[in-house]
Structure 1
């Protein structure tokens, strides 16, 4: 309800020129908001309540407005119904009843019809957000997993800026000595660990862009296959060619997704043009230069992820 109230009143002030006042509710033991619009000879008042409190909300708002306003006022209640709503159409105030559960309008009196466009706008915005998540649910799911694991790292290391090396090793970093002792799971767990806040920020920002493209072209399930196998491939390359280093991060998997888009660009070059391939190659080249210029970046993991991602996507594309 609080989220709905915030969005509704925000739209009310921006789109319909209402201004806000707050008053103390004895029933709720806290301050509540009421929107007001001056229409020359009177005020239009709008407040939001749930279906169990609409009578008391009306009474308290009426008492407050009667003692503070210098003109007559018309109260409109936006009633948020959580369960089955029993409506009395003979009520002595204007009201609009909206079902939070079913996301639909249940009832609207004549005097409150001007608020229907705001309800429709909120509904459509929520539908877009839901649809957007469903459209890229695999990309968002991987991002959420990475972020949750990073938060565990923060708790264990007690530092949000830099994660100490002992925490990374304990949680599954690529560490050749331990892999040699049979801890092969590190070839995948390392891809879900990050060494700092900046590290995860840049990797998740890249994944948010590239992951969506791969998910659109290849589909969610194939995108997951490419991502995970690229992550493993990147860590295997790191294990072979960077035996002394400790490695963590999703960048090997992300390079695998870049490889997948490179394969797509090459195979579809007659339909989408050569510029797309050129842009992907430039992006890869730029990241390689950054990797060489900045210390402590595992370029072998990037190379391995890119190679495996390109190979796997060659098989999976249009399969």
Structure 2
């Protein structure tokens, strides 16, 4: 029996865009690798540089061959045997059974819909832009088809939970995570040493947290240590983590619970670190960020099928990322692994307790006691930072 195939032709410029992105990626990676080899000043640097150049040439030739093949044959998004096929330039095409699609979300500009995110059950989402299609009509026809497919298989989709969370995301303009990232960056610039590669030692001495500082009643260090980072790499990783997960936690759990998880996880991680590593100086926002990570894992476990694609990350990816990070912590020198573990545990169990019996749309409804706790935590951390900056300026 012949099965009908439905297809939508992509614009020829889409292939050019894919090719440019691939070329930019491999060129940047090669330049960075060569730069690292040169500054390492190894005896065999010429051999390694030649190897990288040869590898770059091979990948480039493969990309050019792939580019001309796609330009000649054309590109299509198609549906065959209830499977959606979405081509990619460099990797294998996405093959998505229609029964796995749980939602389709739209993003608008002045000309109408400019992109959609296709959310999948227990798998990462896929973004598809209008400009990749040969015509706007093709794109709109594709969106209508996916809409009908989702509605036929999931009569309640897009569910009230998905619709409400999507609307909340689109309406939210102010971002605490973005403000926090800017504050961390500005503080590092203020306290950075002359060579910019590390923070000033006296800043760590005045604001870092060790066991003796708490016994001396310098409790402000529990707050000030959160804002201090040893190096641009340390700061960069934390800001990157904020950009990846913190925004989604804000949307799903709301600002009050976001603040509670961030600051109380940071404090829990710091105290656990002092318990098991009393002579290590605690500094950085990693404990709080790992708390957000733990809360995100619980949210994904609890609401995986309710969350819209734009704020949903598969549980296995989160679990793998956490396991990999802990493995790196255990095998690296100078990393405060206990702070990470303590923050993660608090964030996970805080989300578990507060979200018990709640649906996805109720997850951001915090209690009055949570609001009081968030206000107290925010005041303590801001006051602790201000006190540290004054003491540091006087010294």
Q: Report the CA distance between 1:269 and its aligned residue.
A: 4.0
Of 195, 220, 228 in structure 2, the residue corresponding to residue 185 of structure 1 is 220
- Tell me: CA distance 1:304–1:151, structure 2 relative to 1, closer, same or farther (3 Å): same
Say yes or no: does 1:169 pair with 2:205: yes
Aligned-pair RMSD on alpha carbons? 2.5
Q: Report the CA distance between 1:136 and its aligned residue.
A: 5.0
Contact 1:188 1:235 in 2 (8 A): no
- What aligned pairs does 1:237-276 form with structure 2 within 5 A after superposition? 237-269=272-304, 271=306, 276=314
Q: Report the CA distance between 1:270 and its aligned residue.
A: 5.1
Q: Distance in 1 between matches of 2:354 and 2:285?
A: 21
Of 343, 365, 380 in structure 2, the residue corresponding to residue 305 of structure 1 is 343
User: Residues 4-42 of structure 1, C-alpha deviation per residue, up to 9 Å, x if partnerless?
Assistant: xxxxxxxxxxxxxxxxxxxxxxxxxxxxxxxxxxxxxxx
Contact 1:153 1:168 in 2 (8 A): no
Q: Which has the larger radius of gyration?
A: 1
Question: How high is the TM-score relative to the length of structure 1?
Answer: 0.54
Contact 2:300 2:314 in 1 (8 A): yes
User: Residues 214-239 of structure 1, C-alpha deviation per residue, up to 9 Å, x if partnerless?
Assistant: 11211122211111111111111111
Correspondence for 2:123: none
SS at match of 1:135: coil
Say yes or no: does 1:144 pair with 2:164: no
SS at match of 1:161: coil
Say yes or no: does 1:286 pair with 2:321: no
Q: Distance in 1 between matches of 2:336 and 2:327?
A: 12
Question: How high is the TM-score relative to the length of structure 2?
Answer: 0.44
Q: Report the CA distance between 1:134 and its aligned residue.
A: 5.1
Q: Report the CA distance between 1:258 and its aligned residue.
A: 0.5
Corresponding pairs, count: 188
Contact 2:175 2:247 in 1 (8 A): no
- Tell me: CA distance 1:313–1:243, structure 2 relative to 1, closer, same or farther (3 Å): same
Correspondence for 1:158: 194
Contact 1:231 1:253 in 2 (8 A): yes
User: Residues 249-286 of structure 1, C-alpha deviation per residue, up to 9 Å, x if partnerless?
Assistant: 11111100000101101212454699822111111101
- Tell me: CA distance 1:275–1:227, structure 2 relative to 1, closer, same or farther (3 Å): closer
Contact 1:139 1:208 in 2 (8 A): yes
Correspondence for 1:316: 354
Q: Distance in 2 between matches of 1:216 and 1:287?
A: 25
Q: Distance in 1 between matches of 2:326 and 2:210?
A: 23
Contact 2:269 2:287 in 1 (8 A): yes
- Tell me: CA distance 1:264–1:196, structure 2 relative to 1, closer, same or farther (3 Å): same
Correspondence for 2:243: 208
Q: Distance in 2 between matches of 1:132 and 1:203?
A: 25
Q: Distance in 2 between matches of 1:165 and 1:295?
A: 19
